[in-house]
Chains A and B, each alone.
Chain A
């Protein structure tokens, strides 16, 4: 008779401990949400007003311009001067973009998607070069983000 009573008491104590623990975690979450933005977020927002925003704008313009004439591009030989110059401009802008994110120390999912969309438009060797640059920045820990 004593054993079921003891087990019942132990179970009740366990439930109480769990409830207290859960309430503690809830308070921690609330406190975390109330905290100010991390420094990296603030730095990123500050950078958005300068080089980073300008570079993103250049890349967008370049992509828009290229997408506006896909048929014409398809008719041109891949080694055409226009294509080469366009690729070079885009490649340089993307490389600078990676360097900017490296300096900031982080890259968001949206920025990563934008970068990849740009990189895919390049010729195979430039594509490889920039993907390597991106991966090296991630693996070195200088840029935090995900592919």
Chain B
């Protein structure tokens, strides 16, 4: 009888803890190649970082490189690799796309696509609690 009470209390505590965790919706990195050089990639930073392999990653960045004519060459890029090693990369010189990279953070979900030339055609990100790892 006492054993049953202990188990019931433990179950309640565990259930309550799980309910307090909130919605978690990890998005492992996915890369889709369309065959003509174009493609699409998506995934969240946390799932990629804590992937059980040492292969998967996703992220974006900006390069500002000094040019000899006195200006800076600027381009943005996004890249991702799935656990199975499929890679998707794109670059952009479009100021609006480059600016959008600034809002990416540690817990962001990132999605981007590119054309046959490797130029980014879209870059999106979403920073929501569902991408923060469980306790």
Contact = CB atoms under 8 A, between A and B. Distances in A.
Contacts of B118: 131-132, 134-136, 138-139
A89 to B, nearest CB: 14
Contacts of B119: 128, 132, 135
A63 B114 CA distance: 30
Main secondary structure of the interface of B (DSSP, over half): strand
Contacts of A73: 68-69
B65 A138 contact: no
Interface string A122-144: 00000110011011101111001
Most buried by A among B68, B73, B85, B90: B68
B108 to A, nearest CB: 18
A135 to B, nearest CB: 3
Main secondary structure of the interface of A (DSSP, over half): helix
Contact of A116 (B37, B39, B65, B90): B65
A55 interface: no
A31 interface: no
Interface in B104-126: 114, 117-119
A74 B39 contact: no
A139 B68 contact: no
Given A70-B70, A127-B73, A147-B77, A135 B65 contact: no
A66 interface: yes
Contact of A139 (B66, B67, B73, B87): B87
Contacts of A3: 3, 6
A48 to B, nearest CB: 24
Contacts of A119: 73
A147 B79 contact: yes
A144 to B, nearest CB: 8
A66 B45 CA distance: 40
B91 A70 contact: no
B28 interface: no
A135 B67 contact: no
B12 interface: no
